[in-house]
Structure 1
Amino acid sequence: MGVETLVNQGKNKEIPELITIQKVQFETLEELVSFFSKENLKYYISGGTVLGSTYFKNFIPYDDDINIAMPRSDFNRFLELVKDSKFSSKYLNIAHYSLDKEFKYTSIRVQNKKLDVVDISNTSGGLTFPSIDIAAIDGSPNNRLRRWFYFKKLLFLRGELTLAYFDTINLLKKRTTIQKVEIKLIQFLGKFLTPSPVKVKQKIDKTLSKYSMEKSEYSGTYMGAYKEKEFIKTTCWGHPKSYEFNQKYYMGPENTEAYISELYGNFTYYEQDEQHNDRHYFLPTEGNS
């Protein structure tokens, strides 16, 4: 599908509620990037944000999410700056399991308290805030066989983490038959085996931190949705280059075409009836309608 076709498809009627959420997400990005620049922290816009910037110079029209990735060393440094109270904000709240043991993920979540939203992945219900997740970019063994075993180890650890949160699995998400069977097994085992979530996250981070992206042929964000498929050739990340996004410029992967090809193959714009399902957040009245 060509860029011209994508842009034309992107000219759907704007949804005011979605625009409101996108505006707050953009404000979060602006404040974060300002701090990154001040502290000389390397970051990349990533995932769907690269797609949006490449094809629309903005959000993918139906998207309400912004993705950021940072090399592990910069990720850790940002976290330390937060712990040392070097990052302060009127509206932004930083969440990480090392700051709050109840936080479920290994990523850093930056929440904007300016707006209440409904998160469709939140199985416990209640209101939350739109957020940007920052994922760490890690390397992997350069030897192909060692890399295979490495990913199997990480898959096991990831399974342990899922087991620790067996009662919060989002059952509304579309899944394959095999995935549904796996979830049933996890829910059964979770009643008898309850590993410490924090200890599992620490083991995951310790394992991932063994290989830096700078010395690895393949690097990526393993704790993302696609696991080892998110490990792409490190040359795709390259040296951060400038991307236009909502009339401003942010740093992203150097080799755009290779990055998109490695992660997505060919980008396909969702049909109108699919777009609602790809949203992450809704305003309270919108989400309950």
Structure 2
Amino acid sequence: MVELKLKEVQRVALDLLIEFDKICKENSFRYSLGGGTLLGAIRHGGFIPWDDDIDIMMPRVDYEKFLEYCHHDNCGFDCLSLNYTENYFDLFTRISDRRTYLVDDSREIDYKMGVSIDIFPIDGLGNNDSIALRNFNKGRFKRELLVASKWKKYFRSETRSILFEPVRMLLFLMSRFVNKQKLCQSVDATCQLNDFETSHFAGCISGVYREKEIMLASTFKNYQTIQFEGYDFDIILDYDAYLTKHYGNYMQLPPIEQQVSHHRAQYYWR
């Protein structure tokens, strides 16, 4: 087995992004770089140097159209999603490179996957901030339970307080008895209760930043292009509001000891 080095993983992921962008441009699908990928685009002009993943955000209607496109057309990658991939139980979609494969001892993966990029739907959350928070928290326990159901074994969180560990342990134990498919479908349906186009607030309900994901819906409706690793891709126009809410002073580099990848996975050439 030949393991991919960091730069190789980044190059494969970039190739996926280039193909994804081409499909979106040809079909007028709205999208934006998101999360750490958007941060990398603004702060570094490309990947965060110690990171290798790519995150995408799409308004729900464009997200569903993209999934339909991939289901009916022969793409140059595998599209892994809840409705079209057996044993896939995530609330977001991955597009995966067919030349590589993933080894991850921390979670159960019952489908073929290589280097991939994550595509998150942006859903409506209602028309004022209190309603948005209430809608965001609908199904929150089920979302946490769904995450725990994919752990192969219990492990300490690298991002949450030790005080939360008893809750994580309880979630892990409970998750051993759930039907992951029914749970995932139930949570996904809850995420889609509010229309994106008519909501004043919206967000990535399945995102890792919890309440920080709640934004004005207008944040996700206007776009510009930016260079990422020498290629032009779309980002939200109001990226400053998004990045500030997620990361605070996002232009400041983290301490050197934090400049490491938090991923446990390894990728290999087939």
TM range, smaller chain: 0.7 to 0.9
RMSD of equivalent CA atoms: 2.7
Secondary structure of residue in 2 paired with 1:168: coil
CA shift at 1:137, angstroms? 0.4
CA shift at 1:124, angstroms? 7.0
1:88 to 75, 86, 105: 75
8 Å CA contact 2:106–2:264 kept in 1: the answer is yes
Mapped pair 1:64 → 2:52: yes
Pair 1:283–1:83, CA change in 2 (3 A):
closer
Secondary structure of residue in 1 paired with 2:187: helix
8 Å CA contact 2:79–2:95 kept in 1: the answer is yes
8 Å CA contact 1:137–1:221 kept in 2: the answer is yes
Q: Which residue of 2 aligns with 1:205?
A: 188
Pair 1:118–1:273, CA change in 2 (3 A):
farther
Mapped pair 1:222 → 2:222: no
Deviates more, 1:196-205 or 1:65-74: 196-205
8 Å CA contact 1:136–1:221 kept in 2: the answer is yes
Cα separation, 1, equivalents of 2:255 and 2:134: 39
Q: Which residue of 2 aligns with 1:8?
A: none
Which amino acid is the alignment partner of residue 49 of structure 2? Answer: P
Deviates more, 1:135-144 or 1:23-32: 135-144
Q: Which residue of 1 aligns with 2:127?
A: 142
Higher helix share: 1
Cα separation, 1, equivalents of 2:74 and 2:211: 32
Ranges in structure 1 where 5+ consecutive residues have no aligned partner: 1-15
Pair 1:103–1:62, CA change in 2 (3 A):
same
Identity of aligned residues (%): 25
Cα separation, 1, equivalents of 2:11 and 2:264: 14
Secondary structure of residue in 1 paired with 2:138: helix
Which amino acid is the alignment partner of residue 23 of structure 1? Answer: R
Secondary structure of residue in 2 paired with 1:213: coil
Pair 1:160–1:188, CA change in 2 (3 A):
closer
Which amino acid is the alignment partner of residue 278 of structure 1? Answer: H
Q: Which residue of 1 aligns with 2:226?
A: 243
Pair 1:121–1:134, CA change in 2 (3 A):
farther
Which amino acid is the alignment partner of residue 130 of structure 1? Answer: V
Cα separation, 2, equivalents of 1:195 and 1:132: 27
Q: What does 1:128-207 align with in structure 2 at a 5 Å threshold? A: 128-162=113-147, 165=149, 167-168=151-152, 171-174=155-158, 175-191=160-176, 194-207=177-190
Secondary structure of residue in 2 paired with 1:100: coil
8 Å CA contact 1:64–1:279 kept in 2: the answer is no
Cα separation, 1, equivalents of 2:144 and 2:29: 32
Q: What does 1:102-113 align with in structure 2 at a 5 Å threshold? A: 102-113=87-98
Q: Which has the larger radius of gyration?
A: 1
CA shift at 1:241, angstroms? 0.9
Q: What does 1:275-286 align with in structure 2 at a 5 Å threshold? A: 275-279=259-263, 281-283=265-267
Deviations 1:241-264 (A, max 9, x none): 101111110001111222211221
Secondary structure of residue in 1 paired with 2:243: helix
Deviations 1:90-117 (A, max 9, x none): xx11111212231120111111122345
CA shift at 1:280, angstroms? 5.9
CA shift at 1:283, angstroms? 4.7
Mapped pair 1:21 → 2:9: yes
Deviations 1:104-157 (A, max 9, x none): 2011111112234544754679x9511101000011022344333323322133
Q: Which residue of 2 aligns with 1:269?
A: 253
CA shift at 1:168, angstroms? 3.0
Mapped pair 1:114 → 2:99: yes
Cα separation, 1, equivalents of 2:131 and 2:246: 22
Ranges in structure 2 where 5+ consecutive residues have no aligned partner: none
Q: Which residue of 2 aligns with 1:40?
A: 28
Cα separation, 2, equivalents of 1:22 and 1:132: 10
Higher strand share: 2
Q: With structure 2 as the length reference, what TM-score do the two structures score?
A: 0.86
